[in-house]
Amino acid sequence: MRGQSNSDAGGRDDSDAQLAFVYQDLRNSVCHIGARHAGNGLELWGLDCGRIVAADRRADRRHALAIHRELALRIKSDMIGNWRTIQRIRVALQVSLLLLILEILAWLLSIGGF
């Protein structure tokens, strides 16, 4: 059919394109940083772009999935921690609102002469 991708796993083509973009950007950044330091004579990190690229190519999909799993677990734990913080703030705001209402009532009663 016209307009559909030839992907065999739904969004696999999109995912592959995104990975290729990220890989290329990372490689360019690392090579640029290494060239800049080597050009300055500093060579602080001793970056060998060819070795980094070759090692990255050898990385398999399981490593990427493990990273995604770790990120998902981190997000879940952050969500739990954030929820606890939000609940404490909500309770503090409710108490503050109650005290504000009581103060307004006290002002109204004192202005009314009661």
For residue 70, being part of any structural domain is answered with: no
| Predicted pLDDT of residue 35 | 56
- What percent of the chain has pLDDT above 90? 30
User: How many domains does the structure of the chain reveal?
Assistant: 1
For the full predicted model, state whether its pTM sits above 0.85.
no
Q: Indicate the helix (H) or strand (E) that contains 39.
A: helix 12-39
**Farthest-apart Cα atoms in the chain, separation:** 85
Position with higher pLDDT, 30 vs 8: 30
Range of the domain at 24: 11-59
Q: What does the mean pLDDT of the chain come to?
A: 75
For residue 28, being part of any structural domain is answered with: yes
pLDDT at 76 over 70: yes
